[in-house]
Structure 1
């Protein structure tokens, strides 16, 4: 009798562990962060860079438009410098208020609220380095995918081949850059 009870318990435990085996030793895929869209993401201090892509025309036009969402999880506004490529060009500045989610590049016909890279020669399908930094925080360089208007969701984001005026390399919202003043 005891042997039957012991065999039943062993069988029940074998079935329980056998059906839950993967959950006991394999890591859960839902706990790992991944970029669920075409863009790339990262963090600089309290500013989260989400789903960054660059949209250009199908032939690899002369203008690239950065499309990105910046999320400031901190309690103070941050002025984020966005620099293209090798960081030799002038940065574009985007101010993100505390607790704000700011979308950049959703209206390619406008000069405010956009970051344009010009001259831009990267072809769709390639990666283009973009550097994000603010204050004394350590910056982050992302390899941002370059896309064109071939997909319906990006068709309206293709920048014009000639930028609206006034503009210059890597334009964003017109937040004045701080200047140093001499101490008395």
Structure 2
């Protein structure tokens, strides 16, 4: 009887350990942070970069959709560095203190990167930095307005300048005067 009881207890212990052992071997899914958006996230000093995405229909100009969350009281002058027209370019944008600053949701608050070489579906490197805080490079995904939620968010191309004819420097005759006729020069 004792042998049966001992065997039953040993079997229950092995069965319990076998079924509970999965939790010891398998990593918990809740400990891995997954970005549940199209953009990427990062952090520079007190500024969190949230859901950074580039919207471009032509691959040369892109609008940056992003939210910056600054936990400091002071505002920050955040510098973005990227490659445009084969050289390093940078722009500085203001990020308000104690709150969120968003860009790209409407035409009034767009950050437009011009002269870039970025195809839809690729990742474009942008380096974010302010003051003496350690900067962070993010590979920002490039999407198009083919996605319904991004309709109207791509930057418009810069207008092209059309040359206008310049008036002749020949003085116009006054009313009633004859128009001068150019004279032919005899050939030598």
Q: Shorter-chain-normalised TM-score: which range?
A: 0.7 to 0.9
| 1:113-136 deviation line (CA, Å, top 9, x unaligned) | 221001233111111111111111
- Contact map agreement 1:80 1:96 (CA 8 A) in 2: no
Number of the residue aligned with 1:167: none
Hey, what does 2:102 align to over in structure 1?
A: 103
Superposed counterparts of 1:42-121, under 5 Å: 42-57=42-57, 59-60=58-59, 62-85=60-83, 88-98=88-98, 100-107=99-106, 109-110=107-108, 113-121=109-117
- On the 8 A contact 2:64/2:110 being kept in 1, the answer is yes
Question: Any conservation in 1 of the 2:128–2:137 contact (CA below 8 Å)?
Answer: yes
Confirm or deny: 8 A CA contact 2:70 2:95 kept in the other structure.
no
- Give the count of matched residue pairs: 157
Q: How far does the alpha carbon of each residue in 1:11-30 deviate from its partner, in whole angstroms, 9 at most, with x for none?
A: 22222222222211222121
Structure 2: distance between partners of 1:102 and 1:42: 15
Is structure 2 residue 144 aligned with structure 1 residue 145? no
Q: List structure 1 segments (4+ residues) > 6 angstroms apart after TM superposition.
A: none
Q: Does the CA-based 8 Å contact 1:85-1:131 persist in structure 2?
A: no
Consecutive unaligned residues in structure 2, runs of 5 or more: 160-188
What do you get for the CA RMSD once the two structures are aligned?
2.0
In structure 2, the residue matched to 1:38 is: 38
Q: Does 1:3 align with 2:9?
A: no
2:28 & 2:73 partners in 1: Cα distance?
Answer: 33
Helix, strand or coil for the counterpart of 2:6? helix
The two structures have a TM-score, normalised by structure 1, of 0.76
Equivalent in the alignment of 1:12: 12
Following the alignment from structure 1 to structure 2, what is the Cα–Cα distance between the partners of residues 152 and 50?
A: 21
**1:115-130 equivalent positions in 2, closer than 5 A:** 115-130=111-126
Q: Which has the higher strand share?
A: 2
Distance 2:74 2:32 in 1: 29
The TM-score with structure 2 as length reference comes to: 0.75
**Largest Rg, 1 or 2:** 2
1:97-151 C-alpha deviation (Å, 9 max, x unpaired): 12x12221111x22xx221001233111111111111111011111111110111
